[in-house]
Homo-oligomer: A and B are copies of this chain.
């Protein structure tokens, strides 16, 4: 049976020694979360993940969700109890404003909690995760009445949220969407259409479900400029705020899919359902994008989470399972064979995951801090700089964390051999669950295009210029510490490659958009490798300065990463600078 232990100590090391959490102590939210409080919060989150969510993960996968003839959906046994523990612990509103019942703590902490819970049970954690995304959109774009009607019940977890974007004929290209909204004259709209792939669209965990739905108001322009956002509750809230009449929205079927079986992926039918406009008419896509940025970071955390839990289980197996002898002579001569961990190639598989997990957790916390600073910093310029940085990092984290998280889960599965392929040990579930994160909230190719086409050139490249400057300054500063040379040397090589790639894009991608498109995916991964390398350097520096108890292990992980992952950057640079010609030469019939 698979197990999971939340990496609380690692998160605390990163917050304390790498990112100097106490320096932010005067900012809103941070003031309530000094290091000891933060440690207690993360400890509780770890317990929730380990004791409530993880025990129903494998059983939830086996059982899946069931849609009954009346359109209701039953979640797997034990999900309701685990969900209630999550909700009653106040975790949904951890970073939400106190005004609506949230705890107002830094988003950074919510991101860490999100990793723990998604590692323990990704399918289950998606239910409150979607609620958090819907709350973010309502808080930013809803009117006061909407906020008061929906947000408190959602933060308590009595009501849950969903995002309704995709339709049978459109996912990435939302300009094509057909769902209609007809004004009723009383301020409400009748919503009609079909949405597909709606996670948590229908279930038995909450007393109401609040759907945020993209639809086109009658007479609105075609394309993305005619899309509006609506709130469409499953039960219409009565004057007392309690769920009242059943709305004309229902689950038509649930998908049979590769993984996340415990989360109901629904076809949702809107048959003249009553909804209310959220924000301005025809500005729905922008409103939804608010939700999507946060959701993308949440999905990035799922990639890290599955990598972490898969690695934990493969690592435990590799130390227990004896099979074959070390190439350099028996290491456990008293046993019939040596444990798998003696084999260099088994170590390679485990360390690829472990070295990613360590640096990705750092990078996630770094991005979380940018998110917090972008709204909580006292200074306008600081807020702007953090917002720039966050915008640049978001597609990289989503794309790289989910691609690498999946690849690491596959490697971890490989460590177990045949035992990785059968359900009993849980690894194959991690692989199947991790796979979706590369697709939803914008497929990773779309993230790469967002990075190259939007985030890089935005404001004359301001965000990238600032980041490159900071990285160069960091590398320079470290010259004063000779023990950093072995880490900073490879980082500088990677940084140089990233700069070359960026110049290549500027020189070619602007004039020939296909060159930018053809380069985008390799550029995103090159970018990710350099950011992860930077994080390993920052961790190494913290190990040197603060000498935490497991400094040795962390320095070894950084060395491994520099020797055995960062060299991939060169291949990405070579590929992307070969241009679009070898891709675009094909006629469609030839492909």
Chain A residues engaging chain B, CB cutoff 8 angstroms? 62, 166, 170-173, 175-176, 196-197, 255-259, 265, 315, 318-319, 323-324, 327-328, 336-337, 339, 341, 343-351, 354, 406, 410, 413-414, 417-418, 420-424, 428, 431-432, 435-436, 438-440, 443-445, 448-449, 453, 512-514, 516-518, 520-521, 550, 552-553, 556, 559-560, 563-564, 567-568, 570-571, 574-575, 578, 580, 582-586, 588, 590-591
Decide yes or no: A171 and B257 within 8 Å by CB, A344-B584, A414-B438, A564-B575 being known contacts: no
> What are 25 A-B pairs with beta-carbon distances under 8 A?
A171-B418, A172-B417, A175-B337, A256-B424, A258-B421, A258-B423, A258-B428, A315-B591, A327-B513, A328-B514, A344-B520, A344-B583, A345-B445, A348-B518, A350-B591, A351-B583, A351-B591, A414-B438, A414-B439, A421-B435, A431-B435, A553-B586, A556-B585, A563-B578, A567-B570
* Interchain nearest-CB distance for A526 vs B (Å): 12
- Please tell me which one of the listed residues B175, B422, B453, B571 contacts residue A567 in the complex, with CB atoms under 8 A apart: B571
* A428 B517 Cβ-Cβ under 8 A: no
* Interchain nearest-CB distance for A82 vs B (Å): 23
Q: Which residue of B lies closest to A550 (CB)?
A: B590
* A583 B448 Cβ-Cβ under 8 A: no
* A588 B417 Cβ-Cβ under 8 A: no
* Interchain nearest-CB distance for A489 vs B (Å): 13
* A582 B556 Cβ-Cβ under 8 A: yes
Query: In whole angstroms, what is the CA distance A349 to B446 when docked?
Result: 13
Q: Which residues of B contact A552 (CB under 8 A)?
A: 590
* A567 B556 Cβ-Cβ under 8 A: no
Query: In whole angstroms, what is the CA distance A518 to B350 when docked?
Result: 13
Decide yes or no: A439 and B417 within 8 Å by CB, A445-B349, A521-B345, A588-B339 being known contacts: yes
Query: In whole angstroms, what is the CA distance A417 to B436 when docked?
Result: 9
Decide yes or no: A422 and B255 within 8 Å by CB, A172-B323, A449-B345, A564-B575 being known contacts: yes
* A417 B443 Cβ-Cβ under 8 A: yes
Choose among A413, A443, A453 the residue with the greatest number of B CB atoms under 10 Å from its CB: A443
Q: Which residues of B contact A318 (CB under 8 A)?
A: 591
* A344 B575 Cβ-Cβ under 8 A: no
Decide yes or no: A418 and B197 within 8 Å by CB, A445-B345, A513-B327, A567-B574 being known contacts: yes
Query: In whole angstroms, what is the CA distance A445 to B412 when docked?
Result: 13
* A323 B559 Cβ-Cβ under 8 A: no
Chain multiplicity (copies): 2
* Interchain nearest-CB distance for A580 vs B (Å): 5
* Interchain nearest-CB distance for A513 vs B (Å): 4
Q: Which residues of B contact A440 (CB under 8 A)?
A: 418
* A423 B256 Cβ-Cβ under 8 A: yes
* A417 B336 Cβ-Cβ under 8 A: no
Q: Which residues of B contact A414 (CB under 8 A)?
A: 438-439, 443-445
Determine chain A's interface SS by DSSP, over half rule. Answer: helix
* B432 A258 Cβ-Cβ under 8 A: yes
Q: Which residues of B contact A354 (CB under 8 A)?
A: 591
Q: Which residues of B contact A341 (CB under 8 A)?
A: 588, 591
* B445 A420 Cβ-Cβ under 8 A: no
* A257 B328 Cβ-Cβ under 8 A: no
Q: Which residues of B contact A410 (CB under 8 A)?
A: 406, 435
Decide yes or no: A567 and B563 within 8 Å by CB, A417-B439, A590-B553 being known contacts: no
Q: Which residue of B lies closest to A518 (CB)?
A: B344
* Interchain nearest-CB distance for A303 vs B (Å): 14
* Interchain nearest-CB distance for A200 vs B (Å): 15
Query: In whole angstroms, what is the CA distance A417 to B512 when docked?
Result: 26
Query: In whole angstroms, what is the CA distance A559 to B583 when docked?
Result: 9
* A327 B445 Cβ-Cβ under 8 A: no
Q: Which residues of B contact A336 (CB under 8 A)?
A: 176
Q: Which residues of B contact A327 (CB under 8 A)?
A: 453, 513-514, 516-517
Further contacts, 16 of them, CB under 8 A, given A428-B435, A567-B570: A62-B256, A173-B323, A256-B423, A257-B422, A258-B428, A258-B432, A315-B591, A328-B513, A347-B586, A348-B518, A349-B445, A351-B583, A410-B435, A413-B435, A417-B443, A552-B590
Closest CB pairs A-B (n = 7): A327-B513, A344-B517, A567-B574, A344-B518, A563-B578, A258-B428, A571-B571
Q: Which residue of B lies closest to A168 (CB)?
A: B419
Query: In whole angstroms, what is the CA distance A72 to B16 when docked?
Result: 60
Query: In whole angstroms, what is the CA distance A516 to B348 when docked?
Result: 13
- Please tell me which one of the listed residues B350, B570, B582 contacts residue A571 in the complex, with CB atoms under 8 A apart: B570
Q: Which residues of B contact A323 (CB under 8 A)?
A: 170-173, 176
Query: In whole angstroms, what is the CA distance A345 to B588 when docked?
Result: 14
Query: In whole angstroms, what is the CA distance A347 to B591 when docked?
Result: 8
* Interchain nearest-CB distance for A549 vs B (Å): 12
Q: Which residues of B contact A418 (CB under 8 A)?
A: 166, 171, 196-197, 439-440
Query: In whole angstroms, what is the CA distance A258 to B323 when docked?
Result: 23
- Please tell me which one of the listed residues B513, B514, B564 contacts residue A578 in the complex, with CB atoms under 8 A apart: B564
* B417 A345 Cβ-Cβ under 8 A: no
Q: Which residues of B contact A175 (CB under 8 A)?
A: 337
Q: Which residues of B contact A421 (CB under 8 A)?
A: 257-259, 435-436, 439
* B417 A586 Cβ-Cβ under 8 A: no
* Interchain nearest-CB distance for A577 vs B (Å): 10
Q: Which residue of B lies closest to A584 (CB)?
A: B344
* Interchain nearest-CB distance for A283 vs B (Å): 21
Q: Which residues of B contact A173 (CB under 8 A)?
A: 323-324, 337
